[in-house]
Chain A
Amino acid sequence: MEPAAEESLVERARRGDPAAFESLVLAYQTLAFRVAFVIAGDAAEAEEAAQDAFVKAHGALGRFRAGEPFRPWLLAIVANEARNRRRAGGRRAALALRAAAEPGAAGVDPEAAAVATERRERLLAAVEGLRESDRDVLVCRYFLDLSEEETAAALGIARGTVKSRTHRALARLQEGLG
């Protein structure tokens, strides 16, 4: 969304325009749900977390600083809700790969596909085996494609910490893969 359009929607939502807030929800619901899902690890929990986050964001619009980007601010709320649910739920379900293409499907070399899937499964297991802080930073940066600034907002850490933690997490991941 264009920054000017977003700023205008946020301003209208702050003044109580329900259609403007609905447009913001529509624009960010996919991102909010994906962030909540990779953190909470469960679709139902992710949906609840995303809903709660939007409702809380609406209630906190009065404290939102005009001119600031809305996306990182919202991400921080979503990620916080998802982390709370992960903590409350105890063990988080691990992320999984989509089902592989049917063997023999057109354009798919069965052997190459099997090797790639195995490699991805190993990599995903290694990511899931990292300590939570390392896993979360990699998930935000590479699975969700968040910027350093957005990752910092989502995880509630400084931008410099995102850099150092990403570096550390990649090194540990490489080590884990052998």
Chain B
Amino acid sequence: MTHLELELRDLAAHLDIPPTPSLTGVVSARVVRRRHRRRMLALALAACVAALAIALVVPTSRASLLRFFHLRGATVTLVDKLPPLTPRLPLGEQIPLHGVSFHLLLPSGRRPQGVYAGDGGYWLRYPGLLLFEFDSGPGAQILKKAALGRTKVEHVDVGGEPGIWIGGRHALYLPGGPPRAAGHALLWQYGPLTLRLEAAVGRDQALALARSVR
């Protein structure tokens, strides 16, 4: 080793290099977040594929698919013509409020007139308001809608959570059933749940109602 090389080595020992910050905690947290984001992306992709498959088996929308809206556990597909719709079906078996498998969220803490188990979740009936709640955890994809092209559909923010507002008549697909007629509805995520609120109210009122659901 030459004198210059020895001097460079000596210099290295005198460099002002800050102490190493601990990286383990931050890196681990970022790895977990990244894995979660990828899983959610994969789920969203799977949901879109499923929605596309459903849209393609609905004859009237096969050639007229316009756009998708998606959040966890729910997809709204815009088509230019709705399929034939059946009237609203019974909500399911009525059960006591405390007989559900997860903690139900209630608008302003109000008790519903009735709770019904069905369609992979729980229906809560109030005067002029119908709430549907389901656990949209890993892979659950039980609520699908197709909305008419002229119906206003938009992404909204519900107290910091993603949501979709459907301002008009549309078709509601629940697992195993035919498309049902539905009116103004708001879909949104809250923790592990996805909720659907249907009421004859405008967007802002629906958002206010949704924000009161805790």
Determine the main DSSP class of B at the interface with A: helix
Instruction: Give the chain B neighbours of A158 by CB distance below 8 A.
Output: none
A residues in contact (CB < 8 Å) with B: 18, 21-22, 25-26, 29-30, 32-34, 37-38, 43, 46-47, 50-51, 54-55, 58-59, 95-99, 119-120, 123-124, 127, 138, 142-145, 170, 173-174, 177
Query: 10 A-B Cβ contacts within 8 A?
Result: A22-B28, A26-B24, A29-B22, A33-B21, A58-B34, A124-B15, A127-B8, A142-B8, A142-B9, A173-B4
Contact with A along B28-48 (1 / 0, CB 8 A): 101110100000000000000
Count B interface residues, CB 8 Å.
26
Give the complex CA separation of A123 and B6 in angstroms.
12
Instruction: Give the chain A neighbours of B12 by CB distance below 8 A.
Output: 142-145
- A34-B20 contact, Cβ under 8 Å, with A18-B31, A123-B7, A170-B2: yes
Give the complex CA separation of A173 and B16 in angstroms.
21
Give the complex CA separation of A144 and B15 in angstroms.
11
- A143-B24 contact, Cβ under 8 Å, with A21-B31, A51-B30, A55-B31: no
Give the complex CA separation of A123 and B14 in angstroms.
12
Instruction: Give the chain B neighbours of A25 by CB distance below 8 A.
Output: 23-24, 27-28
Taking the nearest CB of chain A, how far is it from the CB of B2, in angstroms? 7
Q: A33 and B8: CB pair below 8 A?
A: no
Any A CB within 8 A of the CB of B89: no
